[in-house]
Chain A
Amino acid sequence: MTSPADRTPARPGRRHLLRAGTLGAGALGVGAAGVGLGRSLGAPSAPADSAEEASTHWAPYGGPTVPFHGVHQAGIETPAPASATLLALDLREDVDRDGVLRMLRLLTDDAARLTRGEPALADTEPELSSEPASLTITAGFGPGLMSRAERPAPDWLAPLPAFGIDELEEQWSGGDLLLQVAADDPLTVSHAARMLLKDARAFTTPRWGQTGFRRSPGVVRPGSTLRNLFGQLDGTANPAPGSEHFAKVVWIEDGPFAGGTSMVVRRIRMDLDGWDEADRGARDAATGTRQDDGAPLSGGDESTPPDFEKVSANGFPVIGEFSHMRRARGVDDGEHQEIYRRPYNYEHAPAPGSGLLSEAGQVFVSFQADPLTQFLPIQRRLDELDLLNQWTTPIGSAVFAIPPGCAEGEFLGQSVLE
């Protein structure tokens, strides 16, 4: 790890820091990266004799790194950071299997370096690589990539069937290669995404890009459930990362993709202007939960199991049969599936003349071992009946196979493409 000023290849002393990096790896990153920042800020009260302390004091979220190498790819079970860019790329027509492998080696090298807070090879803005801010880079394969790499795709790797609620737009759907770039800082995400795009350019053309945000670091307790733009706690029913339950829901057990998973990306437009018309009671009825604390309408708090049997004085279920939570959980269908949701909010300026105040929604991201037996039944039920559909519209959809993680010296997807 080197400090920002020392990352420019031309500066003397860089190699010594590089060597320090080989020994200390991530541990040095926090301190070293902060030296330059502290100085540039003037950091009057920063103790001069403790770069590490100064760094964590002034920039506690810039230095942390998330290991890139491992059994699973980062960016799935790891905490969802504040800012994300999802990129879908299409392979150029003349790219063959060899080209796919060359591309993945380049992208893997970029990802390994950038997530350590180091510049990518031939990085023209190494200054933008020095604050990893918990950067993760996750790659997924569409059916097109598997076919080009001359390897069989999992049988579930295909576009989802059409749903009645869908108003899909080509510009938000499909893709041969998915890159999820996420960090606690949007500038870090931007640079990493551009670096990856530059190295993918000879092999791919951009298909779509979606940016999203969650809470900034330090704003809410780590592990808090996401609030979406409707104000709802979104993801309460998720299996807990790090648990056996999570592993069972998310990771593929057998076959070439063992240790990997499937990723469903849905762009869901949220009608905030229409939502404004719904008063609190109508809103809570639509989800079956309280907007303020996420508790089920049957009582308790966010973590309390909902009581779907509970009826009102009039004999109607307290958690309505049309409510999002009841439908998603399959309560009245005698079935239950689980997925792990890791969504991001999006909000952009509205199209000129649209009359809207904003173009907003959710980049819905879910991971599950098998989308056909886990995601699909849930989505089918919600397609049939879910009061929340009144304010939400899926406008994009894509499915990717997420290969397992790689070890140092390997490239992403190596085990599934060999």
Chain B
Amino acid sequence: MSQHSLSQHSFLPSLARPTRRAALAAALLLPLAACSSDPSDGSGTGGTASDGSGTSAEGLTLVDPWVKAAEEGMTSAFGTLTNDTGRDLQLLAASTPSAGMVELHETTGDGSGGMSMQEKEGGFPVPDGGELVLEPGGDHLMLMDLAAPLRPGDEVELTLQCEDGTELVVTATVKDFAGAQEHYEPEGSAGSGASDGGGEHDGHDADAHDADGHGDHGADEHGEDGAE
């Protein structure tokens, strides 16, 4: 069996299958998921993907991948990309069946105390022996046009593509997370607003007022829930 089948499309069956190999490593790195892009690769390696495009991804690992839960619109994905492939890499793009579009975003200070996020032109370098930390308030993957609600405990398949064709497929866990707000501004902040591309993000904030209560309560609905 391939660990590929542990994607969100086969969530329930996956419950019955303990991680087969490198159990300790998998528990430390990806306890909720496994990540191998190659269905023929029966020896999934826990955190290190097999190659998905002909260029070996051996040694390229996304440690602790996770995605912030969202009912609709957009959200972010995080993890620590470590490169032990023996060559310098440039992370160029990412994709997922769960979102219409994924962008690589960086977060920088705007010079007035606020933070600004924008697409990272040309992607992120990941030197051999180095790592790229994707975290709330820092560099991250922006998932836009979500295909369906991403509920806590769901799994999301992410494909990371490097400039040289190296491809890494991982399964990320969806977590209820209060931070990583695209428009978050501390009170009194003089910043121009943490804009992440303009009006298309409006739907993100709208979630907070969407109390229709369908499905599990997403992270943005806690305001209402807390008053129960």
Contact = CB atoms under 8 A, between A and B. Distances in A.
Interface string B213-228: 1111111001001001
A199 B175 contact: yes
B31 A109 contact: yes
B15 A18 contact: no
Among B23, B80, B131, which residue has the most Cβ atoms of chain A within 10 A? Answer: B131
A112 B19 CA distance: 15
Contacts of B31: 108-109, 112-113, 408-409
Interface string A145-186: 000000000000000000000000000000000000000000
Contacts, number: 118
Interface in A73-120: 92, 94-95, 98-99, 101-103, 105-106, 108-109, 112-113, 118
A122 B152 contact: no
Interface residue tally of chain B, by bracket? 35 or more
A124 B228 CA distance: 25
B131 A109 contact: no
A414 B14 CA distance: 12
Contacts of A331: none
Given A94-B216, A414-B15, A198 B23 contact: no
Nearest to B138: A10
B72 interface: no
A203 interface: yes
A76 B78 CA distance: 36
A411 B153 CA distance: 12
Interface in B8-52: 11-12, 15-19, 23-29, 31-32
Interface in B30-84: 31-32, 61, 63-64, 66, 69, 78, 80, 82
Contacts of B219: 202
Contacts of B213: 94
Given A102-B152, A106-B153, A408-B19, A205 B225 contact: yes
B105 interface: no
B119 interface: no
Interface in B75-119: 78, 80, 82
Interface in A188-215: 198-199, 201-203, 205
A224 to B, nearest CB: 34
B77 to A, nearest CB: 11
A9 B138 CA distance: 11
Interface in B96-155: 130-131, 133, 135, 138, 151-154
Nearest to A106: B153
B207 interface: no
A202 B217 contact: yes
A10 B81 CA distance: 11
Given A94-B213, A121-B64, A202-B219, A9 B135 contact: yes
A9 B80 contact: yes
B175 A121 contact: yes
A414 B15 CA distance: 8
A152 to B, nearest CB: 19
A411 B27 contact: no
A137 B60 CA distance: 33
Contacts of B82: 15
A108 B151 CA distance: 17
Contacts of A418: 15-16
Contacts of A199: 152, 175-176
B161 to A, nearest CB: 21
Nearest to A14: B80
Contacts of A409: 17-19, 23, 26-27, 31
A25 interface: yes
B175 A94 contact: no
A25 B87 CA distance: 29
A281 interface: no
A407 interface: yes
Contacts of A122: 66, 78, 175, 177
Contacts of A202: 69, 151-152, 176, 216-219
Nearest to B26: A409
A239 interface: no
Nearest to A417: B15
A102 B12 CA distance: 10
Contact of A94 (B133, B176, B179, B215): B215
A18 B28 contact: yes
Interface string A10-24: 101011001001100
A203 B15 contact: no
Contact of A109 (B11, B32, B178, B215): B32
A293 interface: no
Contacts of B80: 9, 14-15
B173 interface: yes
Contact of A99 (B12, B78, B216, B228): B216
8 closest Cβ pairs, A-B complex: A102-B153, A409-B18, A409-B19, A22-B25, A202-B152, A15-B82, A122-B175, A408-B27
Given A94-B216, A108-B31, 4 more contacts: A9-B64, A106-B32, A199-B175, A202-B151
30 contacts: A9-B78, A10-B133, A10-B135, A12-B130, A14-B80, A15-B61, A15-B80, A15-B131, A18-B28, A18-B29, A18-B63, A22-B28, A99-B153, A101-B153, A102-B151, A102-B154, A109-B32, A112-B27, A113-B31, A118-B28, A122-B78, A198-B176, A201-B176, A202-B216, A202-B217, A203-B217, A205-B225, A409-B18, A409-B26, A410-B18
Interface of B: 11-12, 15-19, 23-29, 31-32, 61, 63-64, 66, 69, 78, 80, 82, 130-131, 133, 135, 138, 151-154, 173, 175-179, 213-219, 222, 225, 228
